[in-house]
Structure 1
Amino acid sequence: MDSENHQRYQASMVSTYYPETSFLDHLVMSDGTEQSYSSDILTLLHSGKVFIVNSRKRNGLILFKRYHAEFAGPGAAVGGDYDCDCQKALCVGNLSLLTPESYDDRQKAYLIRRQWIRLIKQITENPVPQQRVQKILDQFEQYFPPEMVASLPDVAFALLVGVLPQTVGLVRRLGSDVNCRLNY
C-alpha cells in the first residue's frame, strides 16, 4: 500500500530541472521582448583587459557565470582574468565602461567589485528564498528606477540570490506579503 502511494506521488511531481544553463541563451524580459546580447560586451570581458563600470552613472552589469550570476555596479572592475568564465552579460541602465587610468584606480575598482559581491552574499545568507528575492529587488530599486528593475528577467535575480526563477516571479506578483500567503 505504501508503494502505491509512493508511485502516485512520483507521477504527480513537476520537474524544475534546467539542463546545463541553456535558459541563458534566450532571456525573455518581463515585457515579453527577448534580450539581445551584445557580443561586443562579452568580447571586451574576454579580452583580458580590465574596465570599470562608470561610477557617475546609474548602470551596471549582471554577469552570468555557469551556475550563478554576479552584479558589477557603479565603480566595479569587470573583465580581466576575473570574468573570463562569463557566459552572458546583461546591461542594467545605460552601460558605460571606462579604462582605469592608473594602478590605484584599478585596485579601487577591484575593492568596489568585492563590495558588490559582499552585498549579494549578505542577501543570500538569508535561509528564506522569498526574503532573499525581496531583498535583492529592494536593493536594485535603491540604485535603479523601479521600471528598469521591473523590466529585468526573473532568471537574472534568481541566479544572483540562488532561487528558482518561479520564486522571483511569485514574489514580484505577490509582493512583500508572499510569506503570509504561502503559509495558508
Structure 2
Amino acid sequence: MESENNQRCQTALYEEEEVLARPNSFANAQGSSGMNKQSPNSHDSPEGKILQQLHDQQLLIVNPRRRNGLILFKRYHAEFAGPGSGVGGLFDVDCQRVLPVGNISLLSPESSEERKRAYLIRRQWVRLTMQITDNPVPLQRAQKMIEQFEGFFDAQTIAKLPNEAFSLLVGVLPQTVIKVRRTA
C-alpha cells in the first residue's frame, strides 16, 4: 500500500529521451520541439507513449508550474491542454496524435481535489479556444490563436509548431495560418 502511494505521488519529468521518474508517465523528450521525426503513432516515441497512456484512460495533469502543454489531435479538430489541465481519462480516448509544446511535464493526480481542479482548468482552456473560434473571420481566428501562444511561449517554440496544429485548433485551413505567419 505504501509503495502504491509513493508511486502516485511521484511526478513524471522527461528530458532528452530519458525518463527521470515514474516509468508509467511519459512526455516530450525534445522539449519544445514540433513534430517528432519518428512516426507520431510509434509507441517508442515519447508522443506515442503519451498517446498510449491517453488510450489507456490514465488521467494526467500538465504541470501547472511550467510553460508547457499538449495539443491533442482528435478526428476533425485539435485541443490545447495548457498548464494545470487534466488530460486522459474518458475525455481523450479518441485522441489520434499528441504534440507536446514547451518542456512538457506530466503529473499524476494525488487526490480527487487535484483531479477536479485539473478538469476545471482543462475546461478553461477549451473555453478560451471557443472564444477565439467564435470569430467568423478565419484570418482573425488564426491570428488570435497565434497571439495567445506568443503570449505564453517563446518565439522558438512557436516557430516549431506546424501550421496544421494551429489550423485544427481554430478551424481554418493551413494556408490561412501560413498567411498570418508571413505577415507577422
Give TM class, smaller chain: 0.7 to 0.9
For 2:34 and 2:145, how far apart are their aligned partners in 1? 22
Q: Which residue of 2 aligns with 1:56?
A: 65
Q: Which residue of 2 aligns with 1:171?
A: 180
- CA 1:35/1:117 → structure 2, altered by over 3 Å: closer, same or farther? farther
Gaps of 5+ in 2: 1-32, 41-46
Identity %: 61
Contact in 1 for aligned 2:84/2:122 (Cα 8 Å): yes
Alpha-carbon deviations, 1:67-105, whole Å to 9, x = none? 000000000000011000000000001110000010010
How much does 1:35 deviate?
4.6
Q: Which residue of 1 aligns with 2:30?
A: none
Q: One-letter code of the match for 1:153? A: P
Q: What CA RMSD, in Å, does the superposition of the two structures yield over aligned residues?
A: 1.6
Greater helix fraction, Structure 1 or Structure 2: 1
Equivalent residue for 2:94, pick from 64, 70, 85: 85
For 2:78 and 2:122, how far apart are their aligned partners in 1? 13
- CA 1:32/1:53 → structure 2, altered by over 3 Å: closer, same or farther? closer
Using structure 1 for the length normalisation, give the TM-score: 0.76
Q: One-letter code of the match for 1:62? A: I
Equivalent residue for 2:124, pick from 97, 100, 115: 115
Greater strand fraction, Structure 1 or Structure 2: 2
How much does 1:151 deviate?
1.2
For 1:64 and 1:109, how far apart are their aligned partners in 2? 19
Larger-Rg structure: 1
Equivalent residue for 1:161, pick from 164, 170, 181: 170
Gaps of 5+ in 1: 1-30, 176-184
Equivalent residue for 2:84, pick from 67, 75, 87: 75
